[in-house]
């Protein structure tokens, strides 16, 4: 069985992935698809091993924009140590940003091994390439099964379903207002949403990419965005739009392929929620649940009440459509 955790950004899926990683047989793959080229990652054409490697190893310019300016992104696991192959000002292959660093303390060596494995594969569909790669990574890590989780993956759930026929999709979701406010505090989302909504008219995507690293002795348009704090409603609208697109795609799934859980339930009732998840994913061995439940602390304090009243109203309105789809409104 192919297993995926899907959701919007900042919905609690990272914590859930960490909990799943406690399973003794399951390799929890973090953020594999999220940073791949959206025009190529689910192509239906057969590709060679070399072409497959080129697709999965490309850097993501937004990551360089953020790391080169010293801003933190909690999902980035590459260590950037003095003797590592890449430093914060380098264009780092997407695989190294968060995926391989969670699987091995020497991600550079694992990258080389992954390249050797990918390049020797015969021409085949991307779905076949992905399955073989994930199975190989599981074997390398001493596991027998895998799941993949990427932020914002609700946006492309139909592509995943077509690439992995029969897969099961666990959708974790969170209050729209809280997810949106968490996005606003996250540098990658702040950069992306500011560019999508044109919040800085003097900086378009091309201009931003041209400034992947800070310019010397000149105004830095990317830093300007990263240090901004746009109105929360923009992030609420982005969140609602993701869910609207995702729910339109659920028609491509059979009823037994899809299940929802709430982030709030994962925190307040972790054992019950994980048992439901385990049954849905048909995971062997229930002993991991107690260890995973111990990772839970408490619900983060709500951010919505800290906003000025007018901004609260705008954010609630922006999130209404998404909350309604989730039965939260």
Distance of CA 155 to the CA centre of its chain: 11
Q: Which of 137-141, 286-290, 318-322 has the lowest mean pLDDT?
A: 286-290
Judged against a pLDDT cut of 90, whether residue 264 lies above it is answered with yes
pLDDT in tens, 123-138: 999 999 999 999 999 9
pLDDT (0 to 100) of residue 234: 98
pLDDT (0 to 100) of residue 37: 96
Please give the mean pLDDT across all residues of the chain: 96
Judged against a pLDDT cut of 90, whether residue 187 lies above it is answered with yes
Average pLDDT rounded to a whole number, residues 223-234: 96
pLDDT (0 to 100) of residue 93: 96
pLDDT (0 to 100) of residue 190: 96
How would you list the strands of the sheet with 168-173, edge to edge?
26-30, 145-149, 3-6, 168-173, 258-262
pLDDT in tens, 10-41: 999 999 999 999 999 999 999 999 999 999 99
Judged against a pLDDT cut of 90, whether residue 112 lies above it is answered with yes
pLDDT (0 to 100) of residue 66: 97
Do residues 262 and 15 lie in contact, with contact meaning Cβ atoms separated by under 8 Å?
A: no
Instruction: Quote the tokens at residue 112.
Output: 């080389």
Judged against a pLDDT cut of 90, whether residue 285 lies above it is answered with no
Judged against a pLDDT cut of 90, whether residue 217 lies above it is answered with no
Cβ of 99: how many Cβ atoms within 10 Å? 27
Instruction: List the beta strands (DSSP E) in the chain.
Output: 3-6, 26-30, 145-149, 168-173, 258-262
Judged against a pLDDT cut of 90, whether residue 173 lies above it is answered with yes
pLDDT (0 to 100) of residue 83: 95
pLDDT in tens, 71-104: 999 999 999 999 999 999 999 999 999 999 999 9
Q: Which of 81-95, 134-148, 205-219, 243-257 has the lowest mean pLDDT?
A: 205-219
Judged against a pLDDT cut of 90, whether residue 286 lies above it is answered with no
231: Cβ–Cβ under 8 A, 6 or more apart, which residues? 311, 314
- What is the 8-class DSSP label of residue 47? B
Label each residue of 250-285 as H, E or C.
HHHCCHHHEEEEEHHHHHHCHHHHHHHHHHHHCCCC
Return the percentage of the chain with pLDDT > 90, whole number: 96
pLDDT (0 to 100) of residue 90: 96
Average pLDDT rounded to a whole number, residues 179-191: 97
What pTM was estimated for this model as a whole?
Answer: 0.96
Domains and CATH numbers, the chain: 3-325 (3.40.50)
170 DSSP β-pair partners? 5, 259
Confidence band for 211, pLDDT divided at 50, 70 and 90? very high
Do residues 194 and 283 lie in contact, with contact meaning Cβ atoms separated by under 8 Å?
A: no
Crossing angle of helices 176-184 and 187-196, rounded to 10°: 100
Cβ of 139: how many Cβ atoms within 10 Å? 12
Confidence band for 119, pLDDT divided at 50, 70 and 90? very high
Distance of CA 301 to the CA centre of its chain: 23
| Among 2, 3, 12, 9, residue whose Cα is nearest residue 172 | 12
Average pLDDT rounded to a whole number, residues 196-203: 92
């Amino acid at each position: 069985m192919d297993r995926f955790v899907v959701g919007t950004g900042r919905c609690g899926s990272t914590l859930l992935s960490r909990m799943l990683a406690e399973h003794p047989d399951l390799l929890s793959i973090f953020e594999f698809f999220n940073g791949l080229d959206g025009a190529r990652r689910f192509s239906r054409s057969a590709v060679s091993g070399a072409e497959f490697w080129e697709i999965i190893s490309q850097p993501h310019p937004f990551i360089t924009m953020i790391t080169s300016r010293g801003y933190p992104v909690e999902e980035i696991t590459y260590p950037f140590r003095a003797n590592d192959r890449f430093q914060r000002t380098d264009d780092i292959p997407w695989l190294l940003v968060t995926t391989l660093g969670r699987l091995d303390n020497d991600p550079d060596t694992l990258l080389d091994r992954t390249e050797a494995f990918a390049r020797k594969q015969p021409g085949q569909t991307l779905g076949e390439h992905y399955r073989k790669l994930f199975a190989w990574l599981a074997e390398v890590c001493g596991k027998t099964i895998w799941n993949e989780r990427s932020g914002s993956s609700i946006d492309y759930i139909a592509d995943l379903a077509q690439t992995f026929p029969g897969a099961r999709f666990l959708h974790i979701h969170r209050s729209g207002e809280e997810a949106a406010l968490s996005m606003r505090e996250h540098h990658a989302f702040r950069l992306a949403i500011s560019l999508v909504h044109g919040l800085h008219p003097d900086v378009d995507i091309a201009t931003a990419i041209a400034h992947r690293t800070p310019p010397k002795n000149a105004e830095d348009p990317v830093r300007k965005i990263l240090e901004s704090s746009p109105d929360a409603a923009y992030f609420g609208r982005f969140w609602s739009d993701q869910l609207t697109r995702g729910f339109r795609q659920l028609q491509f799934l059979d009823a037994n392929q899809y299940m929802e859980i709430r982030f709030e339930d994962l925190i307040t009732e972790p054992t019950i929620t994980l048992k439901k998840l385990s049954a849905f994913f048909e995971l062997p061995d229930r002993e991991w649940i107690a260890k995973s439940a111990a990772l839970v602390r408490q619900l983060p304090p709500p951010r919505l009440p800290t906003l000025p009243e007018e901004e609260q109203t705008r954010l609630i309105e922006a999130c209404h459509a998404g909350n309604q789809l989730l039965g939260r409104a």
